[in-house]
Amino acid sequence: MPIVTPRLVLRPPTLGDLDSIQAAKEEAWNDLQRWMAWAFDNQRSREAMEHSIRRVMDYQSHAGIALAGFHKINGDFVVRTALDLTDEADVYETGFWVAPKYAGQGMATEAANAAIRYAFGHLGAKAISIGHFEGNGPSRRIVEKLGFQKLRVAYQGATRCLDGAKLDRHEYLLTSPRPLPELDVSWG
């Protein structure tokens, strides 16, 4: 750690990152509630983010990793992603959200690509899973750019935080880093 790409430095967040991540979360909150399964009202507060970061700081004792991505040049918080171990041995689930000021610039794709490469190259992953809700075109495009293969649609498989609507969840799997777009990435 850290994981370094052409534009990002990815590492577990610390309490020193709390204010910048919280500010981005507040700015993105409406979209997060539309598309993230965790974005219930009780997760909006600064205290919730602090609790999340404290849990991440203990991640060394867990079999996964949460990451925050920071702009390599200006140090801004850009993206959150994670590699969470699933019930299947050596299969990780990933996801991401990006600070609104960096949306549409390929930062989420770059961060997810790097995290996935780290999972296969350093954590010994056999597969990576990811999903998105019906209607979330930007996430769908990222998943497709990264070369994931669609497994299934879980019809009405998730509840949207914003309004309680039942949404279809599209589920994907990647079993090798080969389909990933080229990326100069390193970790120490």
pLDDT digits (tens, 9 = 90+) for 83-122: 999 999 999 999 999 999 999 999 999 999 999 999 999 9
The pLDDT of residue 64: 77
Q: What is the CATH number of the domain that holds 30?
A: 3.40.630.30
Question: What is the token pair recorded at 85?
Answer: 């171990």
Let me know: does 57 contact 14? Beta carbons within 8 Å. yes
Residues in the chain: 188
Domain total in the chain: 1
* Residues whose CB falls within 8 Å of the CB of residue 120, separated by 6 or more in sequence, listed in order: 128, 176, 177
Q: How many CB atoms lie within 10 A of CB 88?
A: 11
Q: What pLDDT band is residue 137 in, cutting at 50, 70 and 90?
A: very high
Predicted model pTM: 0.92
Residue-range definition of the domain harbouring residue 66: 3-187
Distance, in Å, from the CA atom of 116 to the CA atom of 164, rounded to the nearest integer, reads 31
Residue-wise pLDDT tens digits, 56-84: 776 555 667 999 999 999 999 999 999 99
Question: What is the token pair recorded at 150?
Answer: 């669609």
171 membership: H or E segment, kind and range:
strand 166-174
